[in-house]
Amino acid sequence: MSWRRPGPVSGLGLGLAAGLLLLALASIGALIGAAGTGYDTASHTTGYIRHVAGFTFFQAALSAILALALALPAARACWRRASSWNTNLLILFAFLPVVMPTTVAATGLIGVWGQRGVISQLLQSAGAPPLPPVYGLGAVLLAHVFFNAPLMLRILAGALGGIPQAQWRLAAQWGLSDLERFWKIEWPSLRRVIPGLLALVFLLCFTSFSLVLMLGGGPAVTTLEVSIYTALRFDFDLPMAGKLALLQLMICAGVVILLTMLTGQSWAGAAGRTGQTVPQRGDNAIATRAVDGMILMIFVSVTVLPLFAILWRGIGPQLVAVLAWPAFWQATLTSLAIALLSGLLATGIALVLATARSRRAVAGLAVWPLDLAISLYLAVSAIVLGTGIFILLRTVADVFLLAPLLVLLGNMLVALPFAYRILEGRLASLAAAQDRLCAALDIRGWRRFRLVTLPALAPEIGYAAGLSSALSLGDMTIVALFGSQQFQTLPWLLYQTMARYRAGEAAALALWLLGLTLLLFSVFVLSAKLAGRRNHA
């Protein structure tokens, strides 16, 4: 049947996938070559690598467990209070860390938990000593919980919303206690989501760079990513950078394989589910409401309060002073240009790959080359990719002269897996619903995409482009390797300002960067929705 043919987009998708695989393999080959040139096998070198790898694994695992420990009771409390306006507002605010730059989050956390932060000021006004400096392992864990607990909250709440209402009604009729409801009704749904969610958050924390660089506080609190950056940028120790990058790559590859095995239905699929609550026994008891209120208050203090600290500390005369910096406007224009281009490129390439996968799946052809090309860039983190590209090009070109192009390429590749996953599932459902009808009406190729697929896919395209641009705007990993005084982005300028202990200017820069990120994301999402509605009309 003609509607089952993959079409030319299949060949284009395979070509792009082959190019992505070759780039990743070339970077990995450069790392292997660099690691093989080192002859230093001293015990202190092996001990250092073992220490850094062990700490990276420990902090990532502990961060994932702490985020789940905060998000799980908060998700259950939100589900019980789903009709409350403040609960809905909390879930809305919980979305912001998804697109917030890590450098901005660091300033917000310092604004709340630092020695001069909000909590310290409240303690001092009550006659108590301020909090200790917010640097070290505690700060890194707090930052990771800040970023990942809201993600877990939304997905766990979606899993609870996917439980059939018949089960909730039976629980209400039987008068099950809270503990009985959890084990008999909630846990069977949650346990299908939690393992994959833990693996994903572990991977995100394991590859964390900016937060550890800004909040680590010294060599004792360093991860593989920061060690790679130090070995490459400051020590210019290519063998050490290659060994560390390969070690991180192997661990991340194992986690990605585990994540693929654990997420049969996909954790992302649970996030969009909604349902209505059925009042249960004891939900309106004073003790239950008090416990839920305390849980949500703790969640707000960890994940929402830093957002208000950014607003409070960023507005003031320091904002006017920052606006007068020539470097500020240069960094703003550079960041916007790279974010827009990388977001559009990532979305365009993801759309071609996702369309090719959808058509090949309908035709019964293999889709694993496309999935492999995308999944590989979950394992090849930005710092590993940047290190491989640096080693590849250092003998044939001036990498600092090519910095804008390299940052653009790196940011696009980092955002590509997220854009692909957003589009791929929706395209598969559209193919199942539209293929036979479009074949009967003889609507094919570009005409079908423009008239049928694009209007239905517009919200996902806007979300993918907005998320990719926001991730690129706030990323500091690639520019940390290739940046210089002549080439700066807003996150890199913010990091340098914080390193000079100019807290006021750093807060103003953080507020500006946060505003730009939200504006860019909103413009893409709203424009896509508007375009989709007009096309449908």
Which pLDDT tens digit goes with each residue over 448-483? 777 777 888 888 899 999 999 999 998 888 888 887
Average pLDDT value for residue range 244-259: 86
Res. 324: pLDDT tops 60:
yes
pLDDT tens digits along 343-388: 999 999 999 999 888 888 877 788 888 888 888 888 888 888 888 8
pLDDT for the residue 273: 45
Q: Stretch 213-225: mean pLDDT, rounded?
A: 80
pLDDT the model gives residue 263: 60
H or E element at residue 107: helix 102-113
Domain boundaries, the chain: 44-311, 315-537
Cα separation, 427 vs 98, in Å, equals: 23
CATH fourth-level superfamily of 315-537: MetI-like (1.10.3720.10)
pLDDT confidence band for 279 (50 / 70 / 90): low
For range 159-183, the mean pLDDT: 78
Query: In terms of residues, how long is the chain?
Result: 537
Mean pLDDT of 524-528: 88
Residues 6+ apart with CB under 8 A from 250: none
Cα dihedral value 235, 240, 242, 246, nearest 10? -130
Q: How much is the pTM?
A: 0.84
Please say if the pLDDT value at position 40 is more than 60: no
CA dist list (Å): 324 to 32, 107, 122, 318, 321: 46, 21, 33, 10, 5
**First and final CA of the chain: distance in angstroms?**
31
pLDDT in tens, 189-201: 888 888 888 988 9
CA distances from 207 to 201, 227, 315, 381, 496 (A): 10, 12, 32, 7, 21
pLDDT number for residue 348: 94
Q: What is the mean pLDDT of residues 524-533?
A: 80
* Closest among 88, 132, 82 to 110, alpha carbons compared: 132
Mean pLDDT calculated for residue range 164-173: 77
CB atoms within 10 A of CB 533: 12
Spell out the residues 6+ positions from residue 425 whose beta carbon is closer than 8 angstroms to its own: 266, 268, 269
CA-CA-CA-CA torsion sign (414, 415, 418, 421):
negative
CB count in 10 Å sphere of residue 459: 17
Q: Does residue 494 register a pLDDT over 60?
A: yes
Q: In whole angstroms, how far apart are CA 364 and each of 194, 423, 437? A: 32, 20, 19
Token digits for 178? 């809270």
CA 383 to chain centre: 15
Half-sphere exposure of 21 (CA within 13 A, CB side): 12
Contact indicator for 105, 147 with CB cutoff of 8 Å: yes
CA distance 467 to 320: 29
Predicted confidence band of residue 277 (pLDDT cuts 50, 70, 90): low
Percentage helix, strand, coil, to 5, in the chain?
80, 0, 20
Confidence of residue 340 (pLDDT cuts 50, 70, 90): very high
Q: Give the least confident one: 59-63, 86-90, 316-320, 514-518.
A: 86-90
Strand stretches in 79-172, DSSP E: none
Per-residue confidence at 219, pLDDT binned at 50, 70, 90? confident
Which pLDDT band holds residue 265 (cuts at 50, 70, 90)?
A: very low
Q: Tell me which residue has tokens 């202190």.
A: 44
Query: Is-contact 114 93, C-beta < 8 A?
Result: no
**44-311 and 315-537 share one fold:** yes
Is a pLDDT exceeding 70 seen at residue 269?
no
User: Is the pLDDT higher at 97 or at 415?
Assistant: 415
- Three-class secondary structure of residue 194 per DSSP: helix
SS3 513: helix
DSSP, collapsed to helix, strand or coil, labels residue 38 as coil
CATH architecture of 44-311: Orthogonal Bundle (1.10)
Contacts of 233 (CB under 8 A, 6+ apart): 480, 481
pLDDT at position 43 over 60: no
Residue 270 binned pLDDT confidence (cut-offs 50, 70, 90): very low
pLDDT of 335: 94
Which is higher by pLDDT, 105 or 41? 105
Do residues 365 and 7 touch, judged by C-beta distance below 8 A?
no
Please determine, for residue 69, whether its predicted confidence score (pLDDT) is greater than 60.
yes
Is the pLDDT assigned to residue 267 strictly greater than 50? no
